């Protein structure tokens, strides 16, 4: 009869058992997987999972709740590093899970004492065993009537085809409108470029005009030289006039 054996003492006194479980919980939180005997793993599961539940974000909505839960968890673990790891990375991963945070994988017996050995790990940190999240199916109400007649099926198919045709027409219209907009933008840019070119042509004089202007300047200079007597001739005329007067 196993009266009074609800808690497995693991052949240790209370202080020793609590210290051992606290150390194992800290190592599990930090390393996410440890190897131990099956009896210790089952005792550790009962010890750790309530602490993980207290560390979840849902249960720490307010500051007083968060501080209270941190203090209670620290009283069990007695390690600041493990507490911070539990309330940050582990709580983020375990947020959507409603319990069963650990997994025990049996490895058989070990040599020596023939004890059953296993691996205990956090479920959300094992990528090989993670299954794809199943999409939640919406519940549909079904009538108890018999199967649909062929006429109803044909009508439904026609309705679906009409919907598909409407969608295709909408897509074609959108494409045509986008093409028209692009052509209009291209025409506008071309007209702007042509206007800019014409403006630059009007502002810059042609080579022929510049050549004509230069020729006109040269001709005017030559005419001025022919009309205006030179200084030497004027001096000679003055001397001749003086001699004649004498």
pLDDT tens digits, one per residue of 126-148: 888 776 555 455 555 655 555 55
Residue 214 domain flag: no
- Does residue 153 fall inside a structural domain? no
Instruction: State the CATH number of the domain containing residue 84.
Output: 3.90.1030.10
Q: Kindly state whether residue 87 falls inside one of the protein's structural domains.
A: yes
Q: Decide if 232 is inside a domain.
A: no
| Mean pLDDT in order along the chain per 10 residues (246 residues) | 86 96 96 96 96 91 92 95 94 90 95 95 86 54 59 82 84 83 81 78 57 74 66 70 70
- Split into its structural domains, the chain has a count of 1
Query: Hey, how many other C-beta atoms are within 10 angstroms of the C-beta on 16?
Result: 12
42 located within any domain: yes
Give the span between the Cα atoms of 100 and 49, in whole angstroms: 7
pTM of the model: 0.53
Contacts 24+ apart (CB under 8 A), 126-130: 126/32, 126/33, 129/103
Q: Quote the pLDDT of residue 153.
A: 79
Give the domain extent around 73.
14-125
Residue 164 domain-assigned (yes or no): no
HSE (side-chain half, CA atoms, 13 Å) at 48? 30
Is residue 19 situated within a structural domain? yes
The whole-number pLDDT of residue 49 equals 95
Strands 33-37 and 116-122: antiparallel
Q: Which residues pair with 104 in a beta bridge?
A: 120
- Residue 197 domain-assigned? no
pLDDT at position 145: 52
């Amino acid at each position: 009869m196993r009266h009074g054996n609800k808690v497995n003492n693991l052949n240790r006194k209370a202080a020793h058992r609590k210290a051992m479980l606290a150390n194992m919980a800290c190592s599990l939180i930090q390393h996410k997987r440890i190897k131990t005997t099956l009896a210790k793993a089952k005792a550790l599961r009962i010890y750790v999972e309530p602490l993980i539940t207290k560390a979840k974000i849902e249960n720490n909505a307010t500051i007083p709740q968060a501080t209270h839960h941190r203090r209670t968890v620290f009283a069990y673990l007695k390690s600041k590093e493990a507490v911070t790891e539990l309330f940050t990375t582990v709580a983020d991963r375990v947020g959507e899970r409603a319990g069963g945070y650990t997994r025990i994988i049996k490895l058989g017996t070990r040599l020596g004492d023939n004890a059953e050995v296993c691996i205990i790990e956090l479920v959300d940190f094992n990528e090989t065993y993670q299954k794809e999240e199943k999409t939640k199916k919406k519940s549909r109400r079904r009538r108890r009537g018999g199967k649909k007649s062929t006429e109803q099926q044909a009508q439904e198919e026609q309705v679906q085809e009409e919907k598909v045709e409407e969608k295709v027409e909408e897509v074609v219209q959108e494409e045509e409108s986008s093409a028209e907009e692009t052509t209009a933008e291209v025409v506008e840019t071309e007209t702007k470029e042509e206007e800019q070119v014409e403006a630059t042509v009007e502002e810059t004089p042609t080579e022929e005009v510049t050549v004509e202007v230069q020729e006109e300047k040269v001709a005017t200079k030559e005419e001025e030289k022919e009309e205006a007597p030179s200084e030497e001739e004027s001096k000679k005329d003055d001397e001749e006039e003086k001699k004649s007067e004498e």
